[in-house]
Structure 1
């Protein structure tokens, strides 16, 4: 069985990943959104956080292995996530190293990130700005979109066009090699 394609939307909080993921499924109905935030809810329901009865393994460990299981069965996924720290990077690159991945950088200007955080009301103000210190610092993307300067449909078309052209998808592998040679430790 051929592995399912994985479109990875990487960007800071409030950059537009969730909206973009939903819009992509309108042009690619054989893809399913698998959000890191939604997966966190699965783990949260399993735990008893009030009594500090927590699963002693990082959520990303399980998340990326679930992504691999879906892909192994031919299911195409859109990951709405944030590559935000060395442990997440480790789990992402080590687990998905042999999978077909379109690595997408989702960008938005700082001023707009602040506005979106305030208007949403469900985010910690300043979270996106804090994440910019780490997100997009080591990735080499197959395609990059800006959800502020371009409409969602323009961003979606860029992603779909990149997926459908015959140029090899090398962003994941190049990013992994860059990371392995950097000062960030992934074991």
Structure 2
């Protein structure tokens, strides 16, 4: 069985990764969406955060290995992730080193990120700005970079699909 392909979107909170992921899955019916946010909900249900009963391992550790597990079974994924610190970035790259990963850098101007945080109402104001101090600052090597504000989600999807097709030839 061949490994499932992985389209991994990395960007700060509110940059449009989840929306972009869902649109990609619509156009790539043999792919499934997996989000660090959804995965964190699973971990949160296991823990009792009110009583400080926490799993003593970063959520990303389990998340990256789950991505690998799906790929090992031939499942294609569109993954949205925030590689927000050195551990997360290094663990992702090390864990998925031998997997067919297509890396996408998802960008958006700070002013728009702050506007999206305020409008959504479910975000910590300033989270995206804080994440920008690390995300996209580590000389990450992306197969493609997209800006959800400058060109819009649909155009980003088209650009990703075009580049993905070119890489897979």
**What is the TM-score with the length of structure 2 in the denominator?**
0.96
Cα distance in structure 2, aligned partners of 1:109 and 1:41: 28
Which whole-Å deviations, capped at 9, do the CAs of 1:89-123 have from their partners, x for residues lacking one? 12201111100011001011111111100000000
1:23 counterpart residue number: 23
Which whole-Å deviations, capped at 9, do the CAs of 1:35-62 have from their partners, x for residues lacking one? 0000000000001111111111111111
Q: Which runs of 5+ in 1 are unaligned?
A: 169-187
Cα distance in structure 2, aligned partners of 1:12 and 1:53: 28
Cα distance in structure 2, aligned partners of 1:109 and 1:130: 13
2:82 counterpart residue number: 82
2:5 counterpart residue number: 5
Are residues 1:153 and 2:125 paired?
Answer: no
1:122 counterpart residue number: 122
Instruction: Quote the offset at 1:9 in angstroms.
Output: 0.5
Cα distance in structure 2, aligned partners of 1:107 and 1:76: 23
Q: How many residues align?
A: 168
1:93 counterpart residue number: 93
Distance 1:57 1:166, change over 3 A: closer
Moved over 2 A (4+): none
Q: Which runs of 5+ in 2 are unaligned?
A: none
Distance 1:129 1:93, change over 3 A: same
